[in-house]
């Protein structure tokens, strides 16, 4: 019986030891001689306590507090009553429990230590629209990351490292919210960068190689929302506990909320609305089990998108004279071109490329600050050799840069470095909001951007004598993420969809993606770097418009120059080998981690004592 009691006492000691250790350490104070405050007597000093309605000279027996009888008793001196007289001696602080606010205790998860990661200031206020370029992750599926997206053999280790016992919710998260159509329940999101920070911490702690895969992006673990205020997420706040998260979600602004100073906006167009509906449907699906039929559908859709990008790439080459028209004998496998000679084929459609880029204020996307337009007339390329990566044709590009007078004081600094005064291809023109649509429209008509700000006056007069200003030319609208620029133009007051001369819209992000056979689009700056083109002062709308045309030329000329050559085959083989090596490395790492647990545990011990049957 005594043995059983000792075992129970030992178990109890182990259970509470962590919480006892959490109590503050205090220096031992000397015991006052007159106070017998020891464990044997069970006495408790009442120094400093007042008993209401008691006379000052009350007897000791009337003031004693009831206590449990001690196991062992010791004789108490006859003057022990004096030890509990309030005026006799100072208290013994070492015999008191002290409540320390915020002390770590497994009995109260709210007092567990917060995440050590500290996020920089978001620069946003509650209800502010998020920048259009932010990728987001829905937080609820992310909170189940170990079991929804990880190798089952690693799930428990990952859970213990960063998710269980409230660890996930005690991290600092910048929360954003959006609403599905006709829904009153907000969908809560976090930025992809903060998700990657979490994975990096887990990788460092467990020596893993976790990352956001392309398949997970397709499953909506990472999303980019359409660039319309009705679709973009809004900032909710920063949370560092589940209680803080629940409070913010329960008090999120409704779907009609508009931030202070934000302009009213119209409803999104049908294409944008359909994109948003699909995104919200994908998020909803993400919270369910993976559906094989749905994955097959996504695969077919991806194949269709890839074919569309390849065909767009070929049409761009036809317009530049690098690819023969359909039906000709050489249209199937055209030969490589010599960039030191003029384009070998006719310039299909006799087009003018008009590239557009707009910049909006990062705190309010309704306030457009810059419009950049660059044009390239293919008639100017006749008989002119393109040169390596089209560098000899770059001088044929004409550019305009308009700054909006009403918003010229707004400069982007927090989310990207703006350079509104850094136009490198001419002089900037300041225009009012009301006049901006007319200035933009003029560039879509002859002489297509030729202006005193970018061309010597004598050359302008000579050209005007040679061209027909009333001629209707075929125009290709060019952009890098074209749909965004179209929407900004519509917001400004010029609708390119109503221009009957525009026969097609092309996107340099898709053209480059098709040539490199990549699953994700590449930023304009990275493409410039790939072709060794110096990109001065990116995020100036005029500069970006010019670089968009240069990127299209470089991609088409490079492909036409090395098509069918060992260089192209080597590039394709190298890219494929790189992707395969990355996949093998991930697979080997996963297999090693799966095997380590078995081998390590198998080598240790003899199996231990029998394990009782329990429910």
pLDDT tens by residue, 309-339: 999 999 999 999 999 876 665 556 788 999 9
DSSP code string of 448-500: TT--TTTS-HHHHHHHHHHS-TT---EEEEEESSHHHHHHHHHHHT--GGG-T
Query: What is the tens place of the pLDDT at every residue in 416-426?
Result: 889 999 999 99
pLDDT score of 399: 95
Give yes or no: residues 357 and 283 share one domain. Answer: no
Asked whether the beta carbons of 97 and 19 are under 8 A apart, the reply is: no
Residues with Cβ within 8 Å of 453's Cβ and at least 6 positions away in sequence, in order, are: 400, 426, 427, 428, 429
Query: What is the tens place of the pLDDT at every residue in 538-588?
Result: 999 999 999 999 999 999 999 999 998 888 888 888 888 877 777 677 667
Give yes or no: residues 276 and 374 share one domain. Answer: no
pLDDT score of 498: 93
* Residue 259 pLDDT > 90: no
In this prediction, residue 496 has a pLDDT band, given cuts at 50, 70 and 90, of very high
Instruction: Classify residue 478: in a domain, yes or no.
Output: yes
Give yes or no: residues 556 and 417 share one domain. Answer: yes
Give yes or no: residues 285 and 353 share one domain. Answer: no
In this prediction, residue 262 has a pLDDT band, given cuts at 50, 70 and 90, of confident
Average the pLDDT over 193-221 and give the result: 90
Report the range of poorest mean pLDDT among 212-221, 310-319, 509-518: 212-221
Query: What is the tens place of the pLDDT at every residue in 202-214?
Result: 999 999 989 898 8
Average the pLDDT over 332-356 and give the result: 93
In this prediction, residue 30 has a pLDDT band, given cuts at 50, 70 and 90, of low
pLDDT score of 590: 63
Residue numbers of the domain that contains 544: 349-564
* Residue 88 pLDDT > 80: no
pLDDT score of 247: 93
pLDDT score of 192: 94
* Residue 392 pLDDT > 80: yes
In this prediction, residue 594 has a pLDDT band, given cuts at 50, 70 and 90, of low
pLDDT score of 184: 87
Give yes or no: residues 280 and 357 share one domain. Answer: no
* Residue 450 pLDDT > 60: yes
Give yes or no: residues 153 and 281 share one domain. Answer: yes
Instruction: Classify residue 23: in a domain, yes or no.
Output: no
Instruction: Classify residue 243: in a domain, yes or no.
Output: yes
- Higher-pLDDT residue of 355 and 120 is 355
Average the pLDDT over 333-362 and give the result: 93
Of 290, 316, 338, which closes a domain? 290
Query: What is the tens place of the pLDDT at every residue in 49-69?
Result: 444 444 444 444 434 444 444
Q: What is the 3-state secondary structure (H, E, C) of 161-185?
A: HHCCCCHHHHCCEEEEEEECCCCCC
Q: In this structure, what DSSP letter does residue 371 have?
A: E
Average the pLDDT over 381-386 and give the result: 96
pLDDT score of 598: 59
Report the range of poorest mean pLDDT among 112-116, 236-240, 309-313, 328-332: 112-116
Of 269, 290, 311, which closes a domain? 290
pLDDT score of 541: 95
Length of the chain: 615
pLDDT score of 266: 76
Write the CATH number for 489: 3.30.420
How far is Cα 42 from Cα 450, in angstroms, rounded to an integer? 99
* Residue 11 pLDDT > 90: no
Average the pLDDT over 281-304 and give the result: 70
Instruction: Classify residue 82: in a domain, yes or no.
Output: no
Number of domain units in the chain: 2
Instruction: Classify residue 503: in a domain, yes or no.
Output: yes
Max intra-chain CA distance, the chain: 125
Give yes or no: residues 285 and 366 share one domain. Answer: no
Q: Residue 404: count other Cβ atoms within 10 Å of its Cβ.
A: 23
pLDDT score of 306: 85
In this prediction, residue 35 has a pLDDT band, given cuts at 50, 70 and 90, of very low
Give yes or no: residues 396 and 526 share one domain. Answer: yes
At residue 297, φ and ψ (nearest 5 deg) are -60, -40
pLDDT score of 587: 66
Q: Helix, strand or coil for residue 238?
A: strand
Instruction: Classify residue 484: in a domain, yes or no.
Output: yes
Pairing status of strand 474-479 against strand 502-507: parallel
pLDDT score of 243: 92
Give yes or no: residues 400 and 283 share one domain. Answer: no
Report the range of poorest mean pLDDT among 111-115, 185-189, 441-445: 111-115
How much of the chain exceeds pLDDT 70, in percent? 75
pLDDT score of 52: 43
* Residue 161 pLDDT > 70: yes
User: Whole-prediction pTM value?
Assistant: 0.57
Of 260, 290, 320, which closes a domain? 290
Instruction: Classify residue 172: in a domain, yes or no.
Output: yes
How far is Cα 432 from Cα 406, in angstroms, rounded to an integer? 7
Average the pLDDT over 506-529 and give the result: 91
Instruction: Classify residue 595: in a domain, yes or no.
Output: no
Give yes or no: residues 276 and 357 share one domain. Answer: no
pLDDT score of 3: 59
Q: In this structure, what DSSP letter does residue 107 have?
A: T
Give yes or no: residues 278 and 173 share one domain. Answer: yes
Helix, strand, coil percentages, rounded to 5, for the chain:
40, 10, 45
pLDDT score of 57: 47
Average the pLDDT over 595-600 and give the result: 60
* Residue 225 pLDDT > 50: yes
- Tokens standing for 382? 């006749």
Give yes or no: residues 409 and 537 share one domain. Answer: yes
């Amino acid at each position: 019986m005594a043995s059983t009691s000792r075992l129970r006492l030992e178990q109890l000691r182990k259970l509470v030891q962590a919480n006892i250790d959490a109590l503050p350490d205090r220096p031992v104070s000397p015991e006052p001689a007159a106070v017998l405050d020891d464990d044997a007597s069970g006495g408790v000093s009442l120094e400093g306590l007042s008993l209401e309605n008691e006379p000052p000279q009350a007897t000791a027996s009337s003031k004693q507090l009831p206590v449990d009888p001690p196991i062992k008793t010791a004789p108490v001196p006859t003057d022990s009553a004096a030890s509990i007289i309030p005026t006799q001696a100072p208290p013994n602080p070492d015999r008191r429990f002290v409540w320390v606010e915020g002390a770590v205790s497994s009995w109260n998860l709210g007092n567990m230590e917060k995440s050590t990661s500290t996020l920089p200031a978001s620069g946003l206020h509650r209800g502010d629209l998020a920048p259009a370029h932010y990728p987001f992750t829905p937080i609820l599926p992310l909170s189940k990351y170990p079991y929804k997206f990880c190798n089952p053999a690693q799930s428990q280790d990952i859970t213990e490292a960063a998710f269980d016992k409230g660890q996930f919710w005690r991290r600092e998260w910048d929360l954003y919210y959006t609403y599905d159509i006709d829904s009153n329940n907000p969908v809560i999101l976090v930025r992809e960068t903060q998700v990657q920070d979490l994975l990096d911490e887990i990788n460092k702690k467990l020596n893993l190689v976790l990352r956001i895969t392309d398949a997970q992006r397709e499953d909506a673990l990472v999303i980019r929302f359409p660039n319309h205020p009705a679709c973009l997420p809004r900032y909710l706040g920063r949370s560092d506990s589940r209680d803080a998260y629940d409070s913010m979600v329960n008090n999120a602004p409704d779907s009609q909320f508009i931030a202070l100073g934000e302009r009213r906006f119209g409803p999104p167009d049908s294409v944008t609305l359909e994109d948003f509906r699909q995104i919200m449907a994908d998020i909803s699906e993400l919270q369910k089990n993976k559906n094989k039929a749905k994955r097959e559908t996504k695969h077919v859709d991806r194949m269709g998108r890839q074919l569309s990008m390849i065909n767009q790439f070929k049409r761009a080459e036809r317009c530049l004279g690098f690819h023969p028209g359909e039906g000709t004998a050489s249209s199937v496998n055209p030969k490589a071109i010599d960039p030191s000679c003029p384009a070998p084929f006719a310039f299909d459609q006799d087009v003018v490329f008009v590239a557009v880029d707009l910049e909006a204020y990062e705190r309010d996307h309704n306030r457009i600050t810059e419009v950049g337009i660059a044009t390239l007339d293919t008639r100017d390329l006749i008989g002119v050799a393109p040169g390596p990566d089209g560098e000899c044709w770059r001088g044929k590009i004409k550019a305009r840069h308009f700054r909006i007078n009403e918003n010229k004081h707004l400069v982007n600094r927090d989310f990207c470095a703006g350079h509104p005064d850094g136009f490198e291809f001419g002089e900037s023109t300041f225009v009012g909001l009301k006049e901006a649509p007319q200035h933009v429209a003029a560039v879509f008509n002859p002489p297509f951007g030729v202006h005193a700000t970018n061309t010597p006056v004598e050359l302008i007069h000579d050209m005007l004598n040679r061209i027909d200003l009333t001629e209707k030319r075929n125009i290709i609208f060019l952009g890098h993420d074209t749909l965004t620029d179209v929407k900004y133009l519509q917001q400004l007051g010029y609708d390119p969809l109503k221009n009957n001369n525009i026969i097609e819209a092309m996107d340099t992000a898709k053209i480059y993606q098709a040539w490199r056979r990549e699953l994700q689009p590449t930023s304009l700056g990275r493409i410039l770097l790939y072709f060794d083109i110096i990109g001065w002062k990116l995020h100036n709308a005029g500069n970006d418009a010019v670089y968009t045309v240069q990127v299209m030329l470089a991609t088409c000329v490079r492909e036409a120059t090395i098509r069918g050559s060992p260089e192209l085959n080597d590039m394709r083989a190298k890219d494929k080998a790189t992707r395969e090596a990355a996949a093998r490395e991930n697979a080997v790492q996963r297999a090693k981690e799966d095997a380590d647990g078995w081998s390590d545990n198998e080598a240790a011990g003899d199996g231990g004592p029998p394990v009782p049957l329990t429910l």
